[in-house]
Amino acid sequence: MRSLVILLVVLAVAFACPSQTGFKIHQKRSIQHQGREDKPLNWLEKGLVYQIYPRSFQDSDGDGVGDLKGIISRLDHFVQLGINVIWISPIFKSPMADFGYDVSDFTDIDPIFGTIQDFTDLTAAAKSKGLKLILDMVPNHSSDEHEWFIKSVNRIDPYTDYYVWLDGDAPGVPPTNWLSVFGGPAWTFNEQRGQWYLHQFVAKQPDLNYRNPLVHEEFKNILRFWLDRGTDGFRVDAVPHLYEDPAFPDELPSGNPNADPDQYDYLIHDQITWNRPETYDVMAEFRQVLQEYEDGDGQHRAMMTEAYVPLENVIQFYGNESFRMADFPFNFALINGISNCLYYCNTTTSRGYPYNGTQLRDTIVEFLDAIPSWVGPQGANWVLGNHDQRRLASRYGEALVDGMIMVQMLLPGTPVTYYGEEISMKDQFISYEDTLDPQGCQMGPDRYEKFSRDPARTPMQWDDTFNAGFSTAAETWLPMGENYPTVNVKLQKENLVSHLNIYRTMVALRQEASVLYGAYDFPIVDADAFTLTRIRTNSTSYIVVLNVGLEGRRFNLSGVTGIPEKAKVVVRSVQATSGETQIGFTINTNDFPVGAQEGLVLSFVAL
Ligand code: NOJ
Ligand code: MG
């Protein structure tokens, strides 16, 4: 039966995806939570990371796919917004079975994106504009078209054991019951070698064998290759998947009623194919490589790790007091909640959104409290979206977007922005026929909508001209978001009241001493309200007041530590209409209105 289901799914994929390759003063946290002014902040701690999905950012050559020259032509976007760090999803040579996360040459640029020369030009242009550049490293797997894999298939040393090869139990029976993250078996039989190879993602992404020290050396040299070319750091992909239990046991069923037998969540992976302790050693090795360069020129090199694992395991990526490993592990709590979200928890396993005020506070506090004191709150980070998740505006609803950006920017730690978030781009519906994402294709027409990541990957909406100014191609690689005539960078720049202008103001506020170093607190929190103060004596200080509820209400901040009787409105959500809280107005802090799902940022000199 199970194989029948799988067969049907495979057939459907072959058909549809042929080209794929009440008010309460909060007592829990005291105002004493102070940022660390004794330690200067590095560029990542001070900065803001903006994720570029290169296929969708800007196309320069009219083929409908974004490229490096396109990115170069748009660098002023970051300068204008005050963004200092860009992270580009993989640009290496790839057959694009997973749109760049299947790499066939880790030291070359894919022709669809350009050349090594374009990369050199990008690095130089970025440097000249004061931008740091972070590349996306994919150590868990390569493409099956990588020469390592081809040699491994042919048992050519030293590549014979570069991948995870096993004999099956019987002809046609894979060595274990393991499932791929994208659905279906995690093993594929290779006729030529006469063995099964492991792929935790699609079959075109064979898993590298981290029990082989040569693989570590390969990757360290790949890091050096890009560091030598001016890269300032790395985002490290799929870290929890690096190792498997060497005894290769079957995994147990999770009992998850929402998971079909071919779906990843059907099994429990912990410590078997996922989240094993050895992964931290590899990250330590990677950090040492970054350190070589840092020691050489005194410039900080950054490492951000991607690990959808339980919070206690996430935190271990910081390393320890004598050896800082990751600058930060991504904090996906504002996307998935912290606990118990296994992987790409798009719908079924996540906590449900938007959060109410108390949940939002608890989710934030859970992460901040987990950060080791030797790291400090400036080592936190806040991710609101990425290329694997529903877009912020689609998850929380457009009305809450500005408020969430206000919260993200005023929290201690580094904000991480997914391209398009600054203008509140939405997920675009994409039919099964147009679906390209292997995670969507693999699930077939009935289930693809829940799994496909394409809706959040449509091209950047720059203006209201043809293809939103993204490309001159008749057809773009994914369809354009339908709302681009009204939701685009150009219009939002011109319109004083816009998501983009709120975003830009918030990025600027984040540079204030009270936000970089000040104390933080969540003084008033209830089901419909969330507040966050950033207070530093003798400095302009801030409070964000977010009404997550569906009805307008009035707030009274009297009694909140540090807040004077009067404060100035500096930012408010685009939908705000109250005549009392116009930008620049001074309001009485003991009585002011905040509309449904509206956010307000007030400034004051702390008492
Ligand atoms: C995580 C990446 O973010 C995702 O896009 C990719 O499909 C998998 N890792 C596999 O590389
Ligand atoms: Mg192009």
User: pLDDT, tens digit, for every residue of 448-473?
Assistant: 998 999 999 999 999 999 999 999 99
Which of 5-9, 204-208, 521-525 has the lowest average pLDDT?
A: 5-9
Q: Which pLDDT score is estimated for 179?
A: 97
> At residue 10, does pLDDT exceed 70?
no
> At residue 125, does pLDDT exceed 60?
yes
Mean pLDDT, residues 130-138:
98
**Averaged confidence pLDDT in the chain:** 92
Q: CA 239 from chain center: how many Å? A: 14
What is the spatial distance between Cα 122 and Cα 128, in angstroms, rounded to a whole number? 10
Of 91, 141, 388, the residue with max ligand 1 atoms within 8 A of its CB, to mutate for a pocket test, comes to 388
User: pLDDT, tens digit, for every residue of 140-169?
Assistant: 999 999 999 999 999 999 999 999 999 998
At 14, the pLDDT band (50, 70, 90 cuts) reads: very low
**Residue numbers annotated as active site:** 237, 306
Closest by CA to 300, choosing from 331, 322, 327, is 327
C-alpha 314 – ligand 2 centre gap (Å): 36
Write down the CATH superfamily of domain 43-139+213-244+266-505: Glycosidases (3.20.20.80)
At 104, the pLDDT band (50, 70, 90 cuts) reads: very high
User: pLDDT, tens digit, for every residue of 491-513?
Assistant: 999 999 999 999 999 999 999 99
C-alpha 386 – ligand 1 centre gap (Å): 11
| Percent above pLDDT 70 for the chain | 91
Q: Which pLDDT score is estimated for 337?
A: 64
* Residue 268 CB burial class (10 angstroms; 0-12, 13-18, ≥19): middle
Residue nearest to atom 9 of ligand 1 (CA): 238
What is the spatial distance between Cα 340 and Cα 333, in angstroms, rounded to a whole number? 11
Q: Ligand 1 pocket: which residues have CB below 6 Å?
A: 98, 101, 138, 201, 237-238, 306, 387-388
> At residue 583, does pLDDT exceed 80?
yes
Q: Which pLDDT score is estimated for 28?
A: 42
- Ligand 1: atom nearest CA of 182 is 7
517-605: CATH, from 3.90.480.20, 2.60.40.1180, 1.10.1270.20, 3.30.70.1450? 2.60.40.1180
User: pLDDT, tens digit, for every residue of 49-75?
Assistant: 999 999 999 999 999 999 999 999 999
Q: Which pLDDT score is estimated for 258?
A: 85
At 356, the pLDDT band (50, 70, 90 cuts) reads: confident
Q: Which pLDDT score is estimated for 17?
A: 55
| C-beta of residue 33 within 8 angstroms of C-beta of residue 377 | yes
Mean pLDDT, residues 537-550:
95
Q: Which pLDDT score is estimated for 355?
A: 77
Closest by CA to 20, choosing from 77, 85, 97, is 97
C-alpha 561 – ligand 1 centre gap (Å): 44
> Dihedrals φ, ψ of 105, to 5°?
-155, 115
> At residue 267, does pLDDT exceed 50?
yes
Of 201, 279, 308, the residue with max ligand 1 atoms within 8 A of its CB, to mutate for a pocket test, comes to 201
Q: What is the pTM of this model?
A: 0.94
> At residue 341, does pLDDT exceed 90?
no
At 34, the pLDDT band (50, 70, 90 cuts) reads: low
**Which residue ranges make up each domain of the chain?**
43-139+213-244+266-505, 517-605
Looking at all shown ligands, the one closest to residue 240's CA atom is: 1
Q: Which residue has the higher pLDDT, 185 or 11?
A: 185
C-alpha 22 – ligand 1 centre gap (Å): 42
At 247, the pLDDT band (50, 70, 90 cuts) reads: very high
One-letter-per-residue 3-state SS of 247-297: CCCCCCECCCCCCCCCCHHHECCECCCECCCHHHHHHHHHHHHHHHHHHHH
**Residues ≥6 apart with Cβ < 8 Å to 437:** 99, 451, 452, 453, 454, 457
Residues in the chain: 607
At 222, the pLDDT band (50, 70, 90 cuts) reads: very high
What is the spatial distance between Cα 371 and Cα 348, in angstroms, rounded to a whole number? 28
Which residue is listed with tokens 């720049």? Answer: 493
> At residue 29, does pLDDT exceed 80?
no
Q: Which pLDDT score is estimated for 395?
A: 87
Mean pLDDT, residues 89-109:
98
Mean pLDDT, residues 562-590:
98
> At residue 587, does pLDDT exceed 90?
yes
Mean pLDDT, residues 271-292:
98
At 27, the pLDDT band (50, 70, 90 cuts) reads: very low
Q: Which pLDDT score is estimated for 23?
A: 36
> At residue 570, does pLDDT exceed 60?
yes
**Residues ≥6 apart with Cβ < 8 Å to 55:** 65, 66, 99, 100, 112, 457, 477, 478
Mean pLDDT, residues 204-215:
98
Q: Which pLDDT score is estimated for 2?
A: 41
